[in-house]
Every structure is written in structure tokens, then in C-alpha cells.
Structure 1
Amino acid sequence: MRRGRRKSSEVWSFFTSPSAPDHENKKTVICCLCKEKLSFHGTTTNLSVHLKAKHPSHLTSSGYEQATSSTVGPSAQSAAKTKTTQRMISDYSRPLMNQHRAAKITSLITNVITGDMRPINLVQGRNFVKLINFLEPGYTVPSRQSFTRNIEDNYCILKVKVKNELAAADNISLTEDLWSSCRMDCYFGVTAHFLVNDTIQSRVVATKQITESHTAENIALWVDLLLADYEIPPERIVSVVTDNGANIVAAMRLCSASYNWQHIRCVAHTLQLCVHDCLKNDPIKRAIGAARRLVQHVKQSTKAMSEIRQLHQSTRTENEPQNFDLIIDCQTRWDSTHDMLERLCSHQWKIRQYLSSLPRTRAAILELRDGHWIVIQKLIGLLEPLKTSTKYLQGEKYISISSVYPVVKGLCGKYSEIDAADDIFEKNFKLSMHTSLQTRFAEVLNFNNETPNLFHKSTLMDPHHKGKYFTHQNKVMVRNAIIEDMGEARAARPIVECQQSDIASTSTSALSNLDTILAYGKPRDSDSPHSSEDEQGGCTLEMEWYNKQKCPETDTITWWNANKANAPLLYKCVKKYMITPATSAPAERSFSSAGLTSAGLRSRLTGEHVEHLNFLHCNMDKM
């Protein structure tokens, strides 16, 4: 007789076979707990399902719970001898979680994705889910699609908040730029700058994916659509800051003709164009080319980097950084040429010692000549004022537009001054830089048609500068133009007197070497006394009061917030003209975060989701 296969599954502790003649074909079994008949076709799957559905209280950690001897057959009685303490089903179920707490956790995870620029599929990661289950066992991580919907909802909510902020602002300044992602998708970025509660605010309002041609007409149309989307009347836009690209300059010319906006070319970008003009000199080109070739070799060779780092660690002083690294210049990165040369010179002798260990033919190709080192060292000193000016003017948390005229004029004065110790190389560089500054900043330096522009007005309204960088004739001209604007402000809206507040004690963050540059911009007659008749000619009481105030120790906006009650009409002009950034750096910064958003692990994002994520990341403080 053939013996049947041994029944080893624990399921059979709860089921028995019926006795003949009921079980003629042996295709049914009986549950020992409820006496229900079930079909059996060689597998215990349906038997396990029955136990889980009908008798969950008998489940154990291994899958089943042995029944008591009083309710089961002989096979269950033998198993009952080894059974452990019975555990309840609540031991295996997750504790209930408050819905409000679960929603808060979901919101915080969404903020991690947008704020820290993490890929959305982070929530599907096995170890991330384990971490959440350990920290909060009762919380179930929603799906990736749920977080995508949360991001879209947060974008709509935050966009409404930004709209309300812009609606409350009397005047707005924009910065604009175009950018291409790693997938070569083009984006049009716009940031808005305004005063809210006497505080400068900056908001990223658009990172739109663009598929049309980048013509001036299309760019002007995109700006119009953006204003309509945010319900911003064009007359509330005071100025637009862009780089010097021909298409975007032409687009702003169209907008200025339609809405009378003031187009400001990015001061930092224009300064870099002046630098590029001067670096075209043959000796400079050869020295920078040799330096770039050496830096590329070191950065691309693991052996070279390892040996120089060992030399650096063995000879490092307390003032030197712990890690060694070199910088390669990039034509579109501001001051990168200065930084490359400065870092190379700081490690000059370590690099020379490494080159001496190479074969002579290889070292001869990489080694810089003594003449190259001399040119590089002189270039570092000649480019330093430009780097200082660029670094200061690209800030967006403080007023920078009022310093453009003094800084540019100071740079012109500094590079026009020829020292007796200057050699022919330094003289030629200074002459070339002075010529380039005069040419490219003609709009800033010149008073065409006796009409002061935004640079001149903002400089006079800055209590740190006032009129000390103007000639007396130009100072009177700018003052009269501001008085005319004050009259328009009075006619446009009645002035509500404000309570005067205390001046904040925050100290100014101006650099000492920047003050040196500004000193070159003062004309000879700026400090000479003028008659009281000249000072009062055509001047209102507010302007007279302002002219008598001493240079404050606080920053510009803090000083004006404390003194706006003394000159409410002049303060309106301050709010109109001083909100303009000096550079397009805010738009550049928004593209830096957009590049991290759409790169690497998130390269499959749609243009719409890139905009949502970048908008939430850059405006996170409003969430």
C-alpha cells in the first residue's frame, strides 16, 4: 500500500478529514473550530485564508495559534502541550494615530522634499520607510503620487500668499534671466523685490519652461503674461534688472516704451565685461592660459592631487586651510579668474615642488615661466577692487542701487591714478580698465539732457552718500528732480503721518576696502561749503531737514524707517527707487536652486513640477 505524504503544515492543527462515507473522494476537510467544511485540492492556501478571516484570535507570531484541547482533535491536543502564552491581535496591529498628527508628519516630509531639494521618490525608499516606522509606528507613509499632489497644493497656497504680498506693495522691481537645465530645457526666471512693513522682501515669482524662440517680442510677451497671472498693474513696476544679452535688452526696450519702466543692466555683469576687455592683452592671455592649463592638470590627475595634498599637510601653517584644492575659472562665473589666480599663487611653491619631481619634458609643458608668475601676482592686485565691488553690489537683503554711482565713480578714479612705482604693464591695464568703465557705464556716470536717472536719485537719498559724490551743479540737479517726484507723490496720494521710532542699533556691514574705493569717487568740490542760498534754492522743508542729518551708523533702510515721519514725501521716493537691486544676482540664485532641482535624480521632472519645487524652495519662509 502506498503511504500518503506527511502533513507537516501547522494548518492541520485546526483541520481534520471527515470519516467515510462522507469523504469518498477526500476533497473536503472540516475546521475543528467552527465545524465548517472546506474544499481541499492539495494545497493549504484556502485553509490559511479561512483561519485568518474567521479565527484571527488564534494566530501566532509564526502564523497560527494552537487551539485548546477542548475544541480540537488529537493532533491539536499534542500541539497544545508546547503552546506558548496566547497573544492578542492588538499585539500585531499598528496603534491608532491622530489624523492631525499624521497630516503634520506628511506636511513635514513634503517640506523636506521641497526645502532640501530631495527627489520625490525618497518616500518609496525602503530604509526611509523603516526609519519612519521606527520613529512613528502608527504612521503609514503615503505614496509618491500623494506627495506630488501635496506639492501642487502647497504651490497654489503659497502663490496666493505671494500675490497678496505683491498686491500690498506700492512699487515693485523685477530681475529677469534665461537659463538652460542639464536636459537643455530653457527656463525664464523672474524675481520680485518690494518693501513690506518697512522690510525689503525678495520673491521668486516664476521659473517658467520656455519652448518658443527667445526673441525680444516673445520675452516681452512672457513678462506681460506673468504680470497678468499675478494681477500686477504694469504702472507699479518701477524697474527691471537684466544682464547685457542682446535679446533681453531689446525686450526691455519694448517694455520701457510701453510702460515707462527703467531698465537697469546688471552692474556685476557689466563689471565682468570690463574685466574681459582688459584680459584680451597678449601677455595676460598667455599667463592666464598657462595658469589654466596647470590647474586643469592638477585637478584631473589623482596622482598630482594626492602628492600636492601630502606636501600641503606636511608644510601647512595655522593660517592655511586644512584641505588643498584649486579653482578653475569659468567665463560666466563672476570673479572666477581672480579666484583661480589667487588660489594658484597661494600654493605656488607646493605646486613647483611637485613639478620638480616630474620628468623634465612633462614639467616643461606645465611649469609657468617667471614672467607668468609676475603677471599673475600683479593681476590679483589689479582685479581685487573689482571683486570687492561685485561682492558688495550683488546683495539683495540690503539697499545696493544707491551705491552703484559712488562705486563706479570710485573705480574710475582708482584706475585713473598712476603711481610712480607702476611699470608699463600696470599702466596699460589701468588705462584699459578706466576706458572700459567709462564706456560701459556711461549711463551711470553721465548726466544726459540734465535728467538724473535712478542711480543718481537713489545715491542722493542714501544718508551714507547724499551729495558728496556729485559736483555742486549735479547735486542741485538731482535734488530738484527728487523734489519734483515728491510733488507727484503728494498729488497721487495723501500722506499719513507716522510715529517716529527709535533708530536700530544694527551696525553697517560695509567693507573697509570698499570705503577706499568710494573715496576715489568724491569730486574736489563736494566737501566745499556752499552758501545757504544755494542749499535752500527750490528745496522743500523735508529736503532741508534731510540735508542737515549726519551720516548714520545704521544701514539705510533702518535709518529711513526710524525717520520716515520727519520726511514722509521723501520716504515715498525712497520706497520707489531704493528697492531696485544693483545686479541680476537674485535671478541667478533662483537658477542655482533650479539646477539642483532638475539635476541627477530628478531629471525626469516636468517643467511644471520644476517650477513648483523651485518656487516652494525659494519662498520657503512664507510657508
Structure 2
Amino acid sequence: MSAVWKHFTLETPKSKTATCNVCKAVVQRGGSTAATFNTTNLIKHLKKHHTTEHQDFIAARQNDERSRQETLLESFQKQGKLPHDNVKAKGITEKLLNFIVLDDQPLSVVENEGFRSLVEHLQPRYNLPSRKYLSETALPELYHRVSGKLADKLRGVTSLSFTTDIWTSDVCPMSLISLTVHWVKPDTYSLCSAVLQVKQCRGSHNRATIAASITDSLNHWEIPLENVHVILRDNASNMKAAMEDMAVPSLGCLAHSLQLVVHEGLMSQRSVSDALANSRKIVGHFKHSQLAQSRLEDLQREMQGAGATTTSARLVQDVQTRWNSSFYMIKSLLKEKRTLCAYAADHNLPATLSANEWCLLEKTVTVLEPFEELTRKISCATSTAADVIPSVTVLKRLLTIEEDNDSGIKTMKSTLLQAVSRRFSSIESEPLYAVATLVDARYKDSGETARMAKDLLTQELEKVQQAVLRESADEAEPAEKVPCIEAGLSSTSKSSFSSLYDRILEEHDEPAASTQTAVIQMQMYLKEPTITEKDSPFQYWANNHARFPLLGAVAAKFLSAPSTSVESERLFSTASNIVDEKRNRLTAERAEMLIFLKKNLPKFK
């Protein structure tokens, strides 16, 4: 007990105030409950009003501290290292592994002299685990714990969408095939995603190898093929064929299709492609020459003015497999047009842009602006298959509008329109796109094929209704059979015609009610106004699924599908950071665990 209580009295042990024995003042004990009471206010009262008593308290407290001596065991334990099974040591090891996984650190970081010195300074009693322990024990344990939590989340979800892609390392002979899963929580209607598996893809990347790898991953996670709503993949023939062999629905990546469309449009007009080629030469010159870059930065600062504080803008080098990088390259050149012209007046460049080419680049940026905006929209985490049909419709209409300043790019614009129409000719008849658009409250039946979409939606609603009826029938107890008595006659007295007629009515009773319920819900839903484009369709269904339970179930299924396979491509950006020059001997098994944990650990801690 604190020595301060020599100078204070409590009315009851749970009193919120204490009475000073010297001046009889009532002092608050601090806190709101007995568990949070403290003596701070009491000590301050003595120090402020009763100096002699405060000095007595200080002396008594010091005597109490000196009187309690550490035991020999306590003293020894403070000097020794923490055992591996110690709670504190386990916590530090877990945080160390999180640091390695989330920050793309090599497992050998525990052998680095600087890192060991840092840990020794922060916690001298902690014994750093070896690289072998982290690799063979701690990492697999964390992997199995996180994968178990993910399996619990997926259990009971009957409609799952997937994205897949293949990545080949530049620093070692390793190819990985990814499978990411997307689903909508049935209770909160929030969109969820996770890396399901990153698996080594050995041998040729043919249809059989891809199909076998994805099937093995699904079997590993105990996901039946009937729960696969759709798999988003690239447009390569081997991927298409693999999905056909698996007999699962699949769709091409919208971003890949846009890449092909824009590439076709840019290459269709010689003057535009020549301007792009010259642009690449100019940007490449500054990327490969430090002297040229320094001169350009000096010119930028000079033209900005003496008092300018903004940093010099860097030119963007494009990657021909990413059309939007060409868009950003052109924009960076247009932004530095005056500076580049001034540079060309005093220094040599491998290529120059004429006034006509500058004008063509400006017009090209204007035409490609909607494509860039659409690419950003469909690449976000909340984009779904419902965005495809409305986005393509908007693109077509924009490309059909003739502008006065189209001279010089008419061929490119016309080719873009033809490419969009050709490559997306079947999207409105694709059931996955049509139904997804209809159940998205931002779009509903605004498409040109609304009637077909409504028929498809009605079929999906009937499937949900039948599943609900089957579940209800399975859960209900069988009714006791009672002889049918009608007008004093037993059921055996009825004619065969009457008995068959009654049986036919019974057969069609529930499906008729099912269809009627489904149609009524759909009509009520479609009559309501659409929400704005900025509103979330998931939030809409979270608020309205109780009103439209059948539609809500269909929405959870169809809105789980993304519009692109971007998630898998982003995954391999992580893979290139993990399997790099410093870790080119990393085994495929360890790489799979590190990639899996990098993406899933923040979600399933």
C-alpha cells in the first residue's frame, strides 16, 4: 500500500474521494472506477498544502523501495537472454517476420551486422533467430495460420470469382501462375479479395499445364467447380483453351483488350506513329545521358524564374506493352514543349518534332483521354464486370462525334472506333456482363439489350428461389400423412382424371409462385431511380437486400467479378520485388509463401 494513505482517509474502499487528515479537504482519487483510481491527486495535495507531510511521504516511499531487495533469481533473469518460448520473445519474432514479409526484406537480414546491432540496442535480452529457423519454421507456421483464416472466410461462400496470370522471373528460371479470389460478403455486401495461391508453373505453358495448375489450386482449397462464377484471364489462346478444358466460365481482361485497341489505332496512321517514334528517341536521349538531363533541368529552372521552388519535371519513358505509358510520355513532352524547343536550339537531339507533329501529339492526347480515364476506372479495386458494357458504350459514342480539329487524326479515330466495335462486339450478349450491369444500381437496364438481360436475370432469380425452397424443404420435418376426405369420400374414391389433375397443379404451384416473386422483385427494383455514378452499388445492396432478397443474392454473385485481371498483374509486381538479384536462389516454395503473406497478412492478421 502507498505511504500516502498515512495522511488520507477513505469513507469506503470504492469512494471516489479521500479526506485529508490534516485539513479535512476532500480530494478526487482520479479515474471513474475502482480499477482506475490512483494517488496522483493525493500526492499533489500534500506537496501544495502540507510540505512537512509531503516530505514524510517521500522518505517513507524511499525506505519502502530500499527495503525490497531483488532475489538472486530475479537479478539473474534480468541479465540472461529471453528463452524462445517466452511470450515477449515470441512477440518480437512475429514482428520481425512481419517486417521481412511486408517490406520485402531477405530472410538473411537477421545475419546483417547493422540489423543485429540495432536489435541488440533495442532489446539486449532478445536472441535473434537464425535464417534457417525463420525459413523452415517461423515462415511456414505464419503461412498456415493466415491460410487457415482465409479458408474460414471462404467457407460457405457459394459464388467466387477469380483472376489468373503467369509471370516469369528475369533473374532466375522460375515461372509462377497466380490465382486471386474475389467475393462479396452476404451480410455486409462488401467486396473482398485475396491471393489464393501462387504456384510454380513448370514446363511449357500450354493449355493442359495451365488447367492442371488451376484445378490443383481449387482442389487444395476445396472449392468445387460449380462455385466458380468466372475466371478473368488475358486474351492469350492458351489461357482461353485452358478455361474451356476446365469447363468453367471465363472472360478476357478488359484492360488487355483496350491495349490492343489503342495499339491498333496508334499504328494505323503513319504520321502519328512517326511522331511517337520521334518522341521515344527524345525521351530516351535524356534517360541515357546524364549531361543532357542536367542541361534540361538548368533550362527548366531558368524558364521557371529565379524564385521558382518547384522541382524539375522528368520526362516519362513509355513501354510499348502499356499504351497508357505512351499517353503519359506524350503529356510529359507537351508539358516541357517550350523547354525542349529551347534545348534543341543550342544542343543536338537524336530527333526533333515539327510544328505539325506537336499538333498531332496534342490531338492524340485529346482522343486517348477517355481511354486513359477508363483504364484508371477499371483498374481500381472496386471495379466490377458491371462497368464493361456502359464503358464501351460511352467509348463508341465519343469516337463517333466528329470534331473540327480532327484533321490529321481522322484515320486513327476511325480505326479506334472499328477496333472497339470489333473487339467488344459480343459483350452485350455475354450473360455475365448483361446480368451484372442490370443488378448494378448505377446502370440497371440502360443498355441496348435490356430485354435479353431481364430474361437472363429472371432465370438467375428462379435458380436462387429454387435453391431457397430446396434448403427449406431439407430443413423442414416431413409432415404426417393424413387420409384425404372430401365430401365424405376417401381419396381413393376420386377419379383418375381428378387425381392426375391435382398432381399437375401441385407440380406447377411452387415454380409459378417462384417466377411471380422473382418478376415482382425485378419490376420493383427497375422502377426505382438509379443511383449516381459516384455511389457504391455494394452499399446500395447492403441497404436494400432485405427488400429484394432474391436480387440481392444474384447481385452478390455477379458483382464479385472484376472487369480486369489487374489484381494478378499487380501481384507479380510484388513477385519481382521478392525474387530479385539479391534473392535469385530463393526456392519457388519460399517465394509462394512470401508473396501469399505479403498480400494477405494485412487482411487476415
Name the stretch that deviates more: 546-555 or 587-596: 546-555
Shift of 1:355: 2.2
SS at 2:415 equivalent:
helix
Q: Which residue of 1 aligns with 2:502?
A: none
Contact 1:207 1:611 (C-alpha < 8 Å) held by counterparts: yes
Shift of 1:326: 1.5
Q: Which residue of 2 aligns with 1:458?
A: 436
Measure, in 2, the Cα distance between the counterparts of 1:542 and 1:168. Answer: 25
Measure, in 1, the Cα distance between the counterparts of 2:518 and 2:213. Answer: 42
State the Cα deviation string for residues 271-305 of structure 1 (Å, max 9, x = none).
11000111112112211110001100001100111
Shift of 1:407: 0.5
**Residue 252, structure 1, aligned to residue 243, structure 2:** yes
Q: Which residue of 1 aligns with 2:208?
A: 217
1:614 to 587, 592, 595: 595
**Residue 479, structure 1, aligned to residue 438, structure 2:** no
Contact 1:269 1:334 (C-alpha < 8 Å) held by counterparts: no
Q: Which residue of 2 aligns with 1:289?
A: 277
Contact 2:435 2:453 (C-alpha < 8 Å) held by counterparts: yes
Shift of 1:550: 2.2
2:570 to 589, 599, 621: 589
State the Cα deviation string for residues 449-507 of structure 1 (Å, max 9, x = none).
xxx5111111111111111233xxx322211220111011111134999xxxxxxxxxx
Q: Which residue of 2 aligns with 1:138?
A: 125
Q: Which residue of 2 aligns with 1:414?
A: 398
Measure, in 1, the Cα distance between the counterparts of 2:443 and 2:405. Answer: 32
Q: What is the TM-score normalised by the length of structure 1?
A: 0.73
Q: Which residue of 1 aligns with 2:20?
A: none
What is the letter of the counterpart of residue 301 of structure 1? Answer: S
1:206 to 197, 202, 217: 197
Measure, in 1, the Cα distance between the counterparts of 2:423 and 2:119. Answer: 57
Contact 2:82 2:127 (C-alpha < 8 Å) held by counterparts: no
Shift of 1:352: 2.0
Name the stretch that deviates more: 261-270 or 348-357: 348-357
Which runs of structure 2 are paired with 1:471-620 in the superposition (5 Å)?
A: 474-494=449-469, 540-553=519-532, 554-620=535-601
State the Cα deviation string for residues 43-77 of structure 1 (Å, max 9, x = none).
xxxxxxxxxxxxxxxxxxxxxxxxxxxxxxxxxxx
SS at 1:464 equivalent:
coil
List gaps (5 residues or longer) in structure 1. Answer: 1-88, 498-535
Say if 1:538 and 1:570 are closer, same or farther in 2 by CA, change over 3 A.
closer
Q: Name the count of aligned residue pairs.
A: 480
Q: Which residue of 1 aligns with 2:176?
A: 187
Measure, in 2, the Cα distance between the counterparts of 1:608 and 1:289. Answer: 43
Which runs of structure 2 are paired with 1:81-100 in the superposition (5 Å)?
A: 93-94=79-80, 99-100=86-87
Q: Which residue of 2 aligns with 1:338?
A: 327
Contact 1:597 1:614 (C-alpha < 8 Å) held by counterparts: yes
Which runs of structure 2 are paired with 1:55-74 in the superposition (5 Å)?
A: none
Q: Which residue of 2 aligns with 1:404?
A: 388
Percent of aligned positions that are identical: 26
What is the letter of the counterpart of residue 255 of structure 2? Answer: A
Shift of 1:551: 2.5
Q: Which residue of 2 aligns with 1:48?
A: none
- RMSD of Structure 2 on Structure 1 (CA): 2.5
Q: Which residue of 1 aligns with 2:373?
A: 388
Which runs of structure 2 are paired with 1:70-469 in the superposition (5 Å)?
A: 93-94=79-80, 99-148=86-135, 149-182=137-170, 183-196=172-185, 197=187, 198-255=189-246, 258=247, 261-280=248-267, 281-316=269-304, 322-358=311-347, 362-363=348-349, 365-396=350-381, 398-423=382-407, 425-445=408-428, 447=429, 453-469=431-447
Say if 1:399 and 1:378 are closer, same or farther in 2 by CA, change over 3 A.
closer
Measure, in 1, the Cα distance between the counterparts of 2:182 and 2:404. Answer: 46
- Higher Cα Rg: structure 1 or 2? 1
Say if 1:564 and 1:369 are closer, same or farther in 2 by CA, change over 3 A.
same
Measure, in 2, the Cα distance between the counterparts of 1:335 and 1:354. Answer: 26
Measure, in 2, the Cα distance between the counterparts of 1:442 and 1:95. Answer: 69
What is the letter of the counterpart of residue 436 of structure 1? Answer: A
Shift of 1:332: 2.4
Contact 1:94 1:137 (C-alpha < 8 Å) held by counterparts: no
SS at 1:582 equivalent:
coil
Shift of 1:597: 0.5
Q: Which residue of 1 aligns with 2:61?
A: none
What is the letter of the counterpart of residue 468 of structure 1? Answer: S
Say if 1:540 and 1:495 are closer, same or farther in 2 by CA, change over 3 A.
farther
State the Cα deviation string for residues 484-535 of structure 1 (Å, max 9, x = none).
11011111134999xxxxxxxxxxxxxxxxxxxxxxxxxxxxxxxxxxxxxx
Shift of 1:95: 6.4
SS at 2:232 equivalent:
strand
SS at 2:199 equivalent:
strand
Contact 1:241 1:265 (C-alpha < 8 Å) held by counterparts: yes
Say if 1:184 and 1:311 are closer, same or farther in 2 by CA, change over 3 A.
farther
Measure, in 2, the Cα distance between the counterparts of 1:320 and 1:559. Answer: 46
Measure, in 1, the Cα distance between the counterparts of 2:441 and 2:141. Answer: 44
State the Cα deviation string for residues 292-331 of structure 1 (Å, max 9, x = none).
0110000110011111112223334899962421111112
Contact 2:363 2:406 (C-alpha < 8 Å) held by counterparts: no
Structure with the higher helix share, 1 or 2 = 2
List gaps (5 residues or longer) in structure 2. Answer: 1-74, 473-514
Q: What is the TM-score normalised by the length of structure 2?
A: 0.75
Q: Which residue of 1 aligns with 2:10?
A: none
